[in-house]
Amino acid sequence: MAHVSVIGAQWGDEGKGKIVDWLSSRAEVVARFQGGHNAGHTLVIDGEVYKLSLLPSGIVREGKLSVIGSGVVIDPVAFSKEVASLEGQGVKISPVNLAIAENACLILPMHGELDRLREEAAGKAKIGTTGRGIGPAYEDKVGRRAIRVADLRNPEDLGPRIDRLLTHHNALRRGFGAEPIEASSVQDQLVQAAEALLPFATPVWRLLDEARRAGKRILFEGAQGVLLDVDHGTFPFVTSSNTVAGQSATGTGLGKAGDAYGLGIVKAYTTRVGSGPFPTELHDEVGQRLGERGHEFGTVTGRQRRCGWFDAALVRQSLVTAGIDGIALTKLDVLDGFETLKVCVGYRIGAERFDYLPSGMREQEQAEPIYEELPGWQGSTAGARSWAELPAEAVKYVRRIEELVERPVALVSTSPEREDVILMKDPFES
Positions marked active-site: 13, 41
Name residue 315's amino acid: V
Q: What residues have CB less than 8 Å from 393, skipping those under 6 apart?
A: 374, 375, 376, 377
Nearest to 39 by CA among 12, 61, 75: 12
β-partners of residue 353 are 348
Q: What residues have CB less than 8 Å from 342, skipping those under 6 apart?
A: 280, 309, 310, 371, 372, 373, 374
Dihedral in degrees, nearest 10, Cα atoms 405, 410, 412, 417: -140
For 415, which DSSP code?
A: S
Calculate Rg over the CA atoms of the chain. Answer: 22
β-partners of residue 342 are 373
Whether a cis peptide bond, with omega within 30° of 0, leads into 236 is: yes
Whole-number Å distance between alpha carbons of 31 and 22: 15
Whole-number Å distance between alpha carbons of 239 and 89: 30
Nearest to 91 by CA among 142, 43, 156, 27: 43
CA separation (Å) from 57 to 60, 239, 253? 7, 20, 20
First and final C-alpha spacing in the chain: 9
Quickly list DSSP for 300-354.
TT-PBPEEE-EEHHHHHHHHHHHT-SEEEEE-GGGGTT-SEEEEEEEEEETTEEE
3-class secondary-structure state, position 28? coil
CA separation (Å) from 301 to 46, 121, 137, 399? 25, 20, 19, 34
